[in-house]
Structure 1
Amino acid sequence: FAKFANVNDATSHWPTGEEVFTHLPGTHAHAPLIYVALMTFILIISSVTMVLAVEAGHRMDKKAVIKWMAWTVVGGLIFLGSQVWEWSTFIAGYDGDISTWADNGTLSHSPYGGQWVMGVDAHGHEVKQMVTYGPTLYANFFFFITGFHGFHVFTGVLFNFLVLRNVIRGVYHKRGHYEMVEKVGLYWHFVDLVWVFVFTFFYLV
């Protein structure tokens, strides 16, 4: 995050989240950051369901643990699917949404043949400065930060699923405690907390 903030501050032609992430699935609406806000909401809700699963475990309520753990897994899968859609949209250029503005022109990714389009009065050095997508700094930061976090979300979903399977089998009920649910819950809360920082520093700043 520190490196991202440093490069952001030092680069004159640097896109913002509101410029880049303006798309919604199945629509042509210009909705800056709405989609990623929904992703964030889903992940936060999954953290709430995990709290409820842990609380149910303290009460030795197996059915409630199963219900809330299942919802936590579903929330994680929805978040991961949303992340995949965002990645594919970012790479392909959805309805020209991926674009950067400079003083003398606009650079956008056309959905027709993948052509880069320049505005009038743009010069060669400006083209180089404005190309901040694909194999360049902004995209590199985007894919590394969200990909690294996405990997941990995937790991968390896998852990939650395995624990959920054991809950269904009655493994923890026979032990007389649901400590493992609480342990994976701590990991899941950590993943959610990290996403709050990702959302704040990458999308909002």
Structure 2
Amino acid sequence: MVKNIASFITLALTICFILSVSFSSDETVDLSKYSTKGLDLNYTVRDNTNEDFNLLASNESFSPYLGKSFVGFKEALAFKESGGDYFSVNTFGYLGKYQFGKETLRMIGIKNSVKFLKNPKLQERAFIANAERNKWILRRDIKNFVGKRINGIIVTESGILAAAHLAGPGNVKKYLRSYGLDNFADGYGTTVREYMKRFSGYDTSFVKPNKKAKAI
């Protein structure tokens, strides 16, 4: 025991001696050696203001492992609609990454479809505005039908919103209130039921019901 205490004291004294020598040195550090004079300094600092919205309303590349997040929802829907192409126009004249019709664009405040097609951030805002408007229109149906099984599919909020993007909220109401008998299909044969199934179970709590939602 005495031997251990002596070893500890010796070690402590050695450390104190080394520190005292280090701090008592008269040598100074020549900071001029580390000058940044003449260097091309170019830093970009990310602005975190409205970070959540900027993440959702951007054309950045996202990880494919988005799971059932809202970003995962909108990117999966965009891939189904257009392959994620902001500049896509289909044979029926639907526009952009999310394939908007001109009438729907007018309802959310967008009158110039040419400018819309050239503006990815506006397309992202349009998607969110349209989802908010649809969620307000379908708020009672979301409350009444989520969790029920229709045509073999468990109804979820994300499935309802995806189907509303495809077919419009009115056709989704008809589908739900007829318990799947009135199953709208678009020009390519894609049905409300298909979107209900494909986009089931995503987190769409980010979308707030808004009767007057506008993209502009």
The verdict on a shared fold, with TM-score over 0.5 as the criterion, is no
Name whichever structure is richer in helix by fraction: 1
TM-score (normalised: structure 2): 0.25
TM-score (normalised: structure 1): 0.26
Q: Which has the higher contact order (CA 8 A, sep 6+)?
A: 1
